[in-house]
Structure 1
Amino acid sequence: MSKKYIRIENTLVEVSQEVYDEYYRMDRQERYQVERDNDKGTLYYEAFSLEDISGEEMIADVKQKSVEEEIEQKYMLILLKKAIQNLSDKEKSIILKMYYEDKPLRIIEAETEIPYSNLRRMHAEILAKLHQILE
């Protein structure tokens, strides 16, 4: 049986036939995967890396809101709270139960003894009123 060598960091190392076969099998598998990725146009995060920032850090997280979006949302909530203060006590109560206590109209109907159809109408009117105040 002839001697088998593999190159490790520019040094030839003598190995058994089994190690030699496995080493070149893994090498061929890796080359195949790289060729396949190149054929399919696969891009890696590392390809976008710069000196001081990795490619992964440059890709935006779509789930995370931007600072501008967070500020805008907080500002709109402040305006909404001020607009709710302009409602009557009855209107305020309905909105608070629906949106802050997360109660459906049927539960509010039982608590307030206001008919469901009237609650739906009032709800639509309150939303229109808030919309008008916020514009």
Structure 2
Amino acid sequence: MAEKKKHLIKVQDQLVPVNEEVYLTYYRMKRREIYLEERDTANGVFYYSALDAEGTNGEDVIPDRSSPPVEDLVMDKLITEKLHRCLAQLAKEEQELIFTLFFQNKSEHQLAADTGIPRMTLHDRKVKILRTLKKLMEK
């Protein structure tokens, strides 16, 4: 009677007995991994994981082109805060007009129909308020 061959694979520095099917599958996968690494090396493929060091991840050095730079976000926040402070300095009626036109996205025509105030009057008020806001923002 033929003696059955033992199949062992190394898992966390320990040899573990497995059946022949697991053994063959494991070594096919291992060989495929080695082949792909050899092919990548031959083709000059570079992995950011090669930049991994203690405390840093190589992928962290990849710039994120899809999100805006931090400087732009900070500037936008500062300008927005200043705009809100300037809006607070306007009269209540002026604030309501700006809020309706710009924050509720109503057109001058819609607002004129809702309030009964002529559209050109609303337009002239809006232009005057925007000039005032511009002066306040430039201070």
Question: Structure 1-normalised TM-score?
Answer: 0.59
Say whether residues 1:83 and 2:90 are aligned partners.
no
Identity, % of aligned positions: 30
Q: Distance in 2 between the 1:55 and 1:104 partners?
A: 49
Q: SS state of the match for residue 117, structure 2? A: coil
- Give yes or no for contact 2:8–2:17 (8 Å, CA) kept in 1: yes
In structure 2, the partner of 1:41 is 45
Q: SS state of the match for residue 98, structure 1? A: helix
Q: Distance in 2 between the 1:121 and 1:36 partners?
A: 70
In structure 2, the partner of 1:104 is 106
Q: SS state of the match for residue 25, structure 1? A: helix
| Deviation by residue 1:16-46 (Cα, 9 ceiling, x = unmatched) | 54334312221132224334544373524x3
Say whether residues 1:133 and 2:98 are aligned partners.
no
Q: Per the alignment, do residues 16 and 76 of structure 1 end up closer, same or farther by CA in structure 2, a change over 3 Å counting?
A: closer
Question: Structure 2-normalised TM-score?
Answer: 0.58
- Give yes or no for contact 2:9–2:17 (8 Å, CA) kept in 1: no
The one-letter amino acid paired with 1:91 is E
Q: Distance in 2 between the 1:120 and 1:99 partners?
A: 13
Q: SS state of the match for residue 8, structure 1? A: strand
Q: Per the alignment, do residues 20 and 128 of structure 1 end up closer, same or farther by CA in structure 2, a change over 3 Å counting?
A: same
- Please give the residue correspondences for 1:1-135 in structure 2 after superposition, counting only pairs within 5 Å: 3=5, 5=7, 8=10, 16-38=19-41, 39=43, 41-44=45-48, 46-59=49-62, 63=67, 66=70, 69=72, 71-100=74-103, 102-105=104-107, 106-116=109-119, 118-120=121-123, 122-135=125-138
How big is the shift at 1:80?
A: 1.4
- Give yes or no for contact 1:3–1:14 (8 Å, CA) kept in 2: no
Structure 1 residues without counterparts, runs of 5 or longer: none
The one-letter amino acid paired with 1:21 is L
Q: Distance in 2 between the 1:73 and 1:90 partners?
A: 26
Q: RMSD in angstroms over aligned alpha carbons?
A: 3.9
The one-letter amino acid paired with 1:104 is K
The aligned length equals 132
